[in-house]
Chains A and B, each alone.
Chain A
Amino acid sequence: MKRPWYNFLYVRAPILKIGLGIGALLLTIGLLLFLGVVEESRMEAQTANWDGRAIEKGAEIYANNCYNCHGMDGKGLPGVAPALHSNYFFTQRLADVGWSGSLKDYIALTVAAGRPSNVNMQWAQMMPTWSSRFGGPLRDDQVDAVTAYVLNWEKSALTQGTEDNPDPWQVFANAPTRAAAGAEGDAAEAVVAAEPAGPRQPQELFVSMGCGGCHNLDQPQAADNRGPVGPNMANLHESAGTHGEEAETYVHTSIVNPNAYVSEGYMAGIMPQNFAEKMSEEEINLMVAWLLDPNRVR
């Protein structure tokens, strides 16, 4: 009988089979012992790996949802949202709000449930609810991921406090902290009270009133390039006059009474309705002129 080319696979002698079997058994045991020896460090590496991946996922969620208000590097925007990448936030915040849990729980809760607030606060928008458990868009694992991302600022936040690396934290204006209430009761009030004489410049107000949190000055508003929360403003001088009114009147009305005109696709009630109280008439008029200037200087 002709032997096939793969005939070498046929082991005939029983003693050779037994030998191969014992050899294979020893090899298996050896491999398992090796895996057992490195198992501890493998588990540690895997733990670090999945923590790292959660931070990556959190970074993506932050870039898509949070950076508009809390800033690209988490240092907050004046008048829009507080800093998270802040020494104060990592070291003092829990004591000041009287939170007995961990910072992780505090962040996760704030992300998940949001922060209810009224319109008379220093922040342009309230913190929305993000968790799907409370009607938001994020799953539990996504809330955990974004929490991990925020916590990952700790290392660099703790180096803050020097002159060229200041703590970006902004004192909460109308919510005196525990520490402030005890020792220096009026410190927070004082910050608000210190108003400069004369009209403030629109460039400065655009930042301090938090307009920049939602309105982009450099991007034009177009069908394929819409501002995510509020319309972009690079081409405002062209589009403002298209609403059946003088451009100036339109912009002015939109500042003092934002719900008078709500651009299609945006929600009413998002933009604060108290700018008439926060700014003088003169300041608003300067702001309107500046916004409508095609060669706007920042």
Chain B
Amino acid sequence: MAVQPEIEKKSVVQTVLDVADDVFTRITAGIPAGEVRRMIRGEAPGRPNPRLKPHSEAFLLHIKPTYYHESVTKFTHTFRLGLLSTYLFFLETITGLILMIWYAPTPERAYVDMIRLLSNVPFGQFMRDMHRLGAELMVLIVTAHMVRTYLTGSYKAPRQFTWFTGVILLVLTLFLSFSGYLLPWDQLAFWAVTIGTSMAEAVPPAIVGETVNLLARGAPDIGANGLLRFYLLHVLFLPLILFLFFFVHYYKVVHFGISLPSDEEEVGQDTANKVPADRRVYFLPDVMIDEASFLIGFTAVMVFLTAFFFSAPLESIANPQSTPLHTVAPWYFYWLQGLLKIADKMIAGVILPGVLLVLLMAIPYLDRNPSRRARDRRVAIISGLVAGIVMVIWSWMGTPYYAVQGAPAVEVVQKLMPEEGAGHVRELGYANLPLGVYDTREHPVTENEEFNHILHQFEGHIVHFEEEDPSFNSPYGVLTVSQEQPSLKRLTWEIHWLSPEGVEDTFKRTFFLHENSLYWEQYGLRDFSFVRAAAEE
């Protein structure tokens, strides 16, 4: 036996300890327990540095640099936005894989599966909310990462191609987020994607646009085929492409190093890879502690937001026969929707975004200014800020507030009880809607304070539109709340007004509200009233 001679020399305890340490070292890919203790104590590594071994031994660490320049490890230089984008991609993959268990991409099943996920799967709603929040944050953080890179001038030589791949990653992130939009098969999803794919139709020449649209939808209109195609795009094709470009991007980041703060080196110099020995910060343990604690902290924030302030929306089942009032794109495409309102579909939906995208990719090749310092880049920074402001304005134009107001009577009801989503009345709920007929001319007051507030708003909106719209004269509204069935109330909104010719006109809309229905907004404090209801039983 091979251990026999050692036992003769060493005690049994020591042998066991040595074997344990050996196992530990294998798990950590080369770091013995004693070295971990020295790391935690903050002692300097010996020479040669034993903490470099995992970078050559472990697959997951071999792509990480062994050390960084002290200046780039400062949180306030990069805000760790690239790391965060990568982390969110993996978080989306994990939550997405879990959600796939309960999902079948067919029009008959998709929406029912969503309801089942929300009502019958423990932590199902949490997973869905996390996935949705992660998707929106990923768009936000990838964009912030790009803005940071732009403002610090880090796209300049030699990192032009890194920027180029970064723009591709941004586009892929947007497409990933958007392709996931259709999967719940609700009205929100269906119409946003119908509008989105119809933009592809505008690609000139007509034969190309029509073919692209047909390929995406799988039929002239989105149906079973379109859903399957978007599903495959979302869970397979786009993640694979993104994965590929991520590694190209990351390879370039490691290859050139993270650019130093601009005032730490001469203009035109790039010393990111020539780190003096006294400015090195090793990945193990400093950067690892930093990154790990940052990601754990970020996860905690996400879980907190999901638990209390964010609920993924789910509207009525997709209905190709009825377009909801005020169909909106996801917020990160508001700007595109805004453009479409003021220009033709081909110009605003295809040519302009295409030109913007090419411009964005070409920035490092167009900007010949060698300096990364803000004071030398006034033109670049100011034009960047202007572009940002223009995006915000276009986005505002994409919201229903700009240029798509319907008839005043329709808008009044939509404000209080929208066709889709929650609205004040549904949030108030069944219990707070006393039966009766409420005519705004009589300024009705009930015993329910919250309901009085609704009546007040009803009156206020009508007065507001009377002032705004000359064809909406001496209007008044009547809200009738009646008991339709046990636990079901009928709300009939009637608005009467006189046209400029003095002809009386009426708008009538009926909604039903069930005692057990819960409606929620995407952003806002989560309603935990079910906990109280359960406790009372």
A111 to chain B, nearest CB (A): 17
Residue of B511, B515, B518 with highest tally of chain A CB at under 10 A: B518
Selected from A6, A41, A139, the residue in CB contact (under 8 A) with B530 is: A41
- Chain B residues 69-123 with CB under 8 Å of chain A are 74-76, 79, 108, 111-112, 115, 118-123
| Chain A 122-142 interface 0/1 with B at a Cβ cutoff of 8 Å (1 = within) | 000000000000000001110
Taking CB atoms, residues of chain A closer than 8 Å to B300 are 24-25, 27-28, 31
Q: Is there contact, CB below 8 Å, between A55 and B289? A: no
Q: Is there contact, CB below 8 Å, between A57 and B76? A: no
Stretch at the interface among A10-18, A91-99, A170-178: A10-18
User: How distant is the Cα of A45 from the Cα of B528 in the complex, in angstroms?
Assistant: 10
| Chain A 169-188 interface 0/1 with B at a Cβ cutoff of 8 Å (1 = within) | 00000000000000000000
Selected from B120, B304, B517, B531, the residue in CB contact (under 8 A) with A27 is: B304
User: How distant is the Cα of A141 from the Cα of B113 in the complex, in angstroms?
Assistant: 13
Is the C-beta of A38 less than 8 angstroms from some C-beta in chain B? yes
A18-B510 in contact given A38-B531, A50-B119 (Cβ < 8 Å) = no
Q: Is there contact, CB below 8 Å, between A11 and B75? A: yes
Selected from A41, A152, A155, the residue in CB contact (under 8 A) with B534 is: A41
Taking CB atoms, residues of chain A closer than 8 Å to B259 are none
B509 to chain A, nearest CB (A): 11
Q: Is there contact, CB below 8 Å, between A45 and B296? A: no
User: How distant is the Cα of A273 from the Cα of B468 in the complex, in angstroms?
Assistant: 55
Chain B interface residue count, CB cutoff 8 Å, equals: 55
| Chain B 11-43 interface 0/1 with A at a Cβ cutoff of 8 Å (1 = within) | 000000000000000000000000000000010
Q: For this complex, into which size category does the number of interface residues on chain A fall?
A: 35 or more
A52-B514 in contact given A10-B74, A27-B300, A57-B316 (Cβ < 8 Å) = yes
Q: Once A and B bind, how many residue pairs between them come within 8 Å at the CB atom?
A: 141
User: How distant is the Cα of A21 from the Cα of B294 in the complex, in angstroms?
Assistant: 7
Is the C-beta of A268 less than 8 angstroms from some C-beta in chain B? no
Taking CB atoms, residues of chain B closer than 8 Å to A14 are 42, 285-286, 289-290
Q: Is there contact, CB below 8 Å, between B518 and A24? A: no
Is the C-beta of A60 less than 8 angstroms from some C-beta in chain B? yes
Query: A44-B530, A49-B517 known; 20 other A-B pairs, CB under 8 Å?
Result: A1-B263, A9-B75, A14-B285, A17-B293, A24-B296, A28-B299, A38-B528, A40-B534, A42-B530, A43-B121, A45-B518, A53-B517, A56-B488, A56-B517, A59-B484, A59-B488, A59-B512, A63-B510, A140-B108, A152-B486
Q: Could you list which residues of chain A lie within 8 angstroms of chain B, going by C-beta atoms?
A: 1, 4, 6-7, 9-11, 14, 17-18, 20-21, 24-25, 27-28, 31-32, 34-36, 38-53, 55-57, 59-60, 63, 139-141, 149, 152-156
25 of the cross-chain contacts (CB-CB < 8 Å) are A9-B75, A14-B42, A17-B289, A18-B293, A24-B300, A25-B296, A27-B304, A38-B531, A42-B531, A43-B119, A43-B121, A43-B122, A44-B534, A45-B530, A45-B534, A49-B516, A50-B118, A52-B515, A52-B516, A55-B485, A149-B485, A149-B488, A152-B486, A152-B487, A153-B485
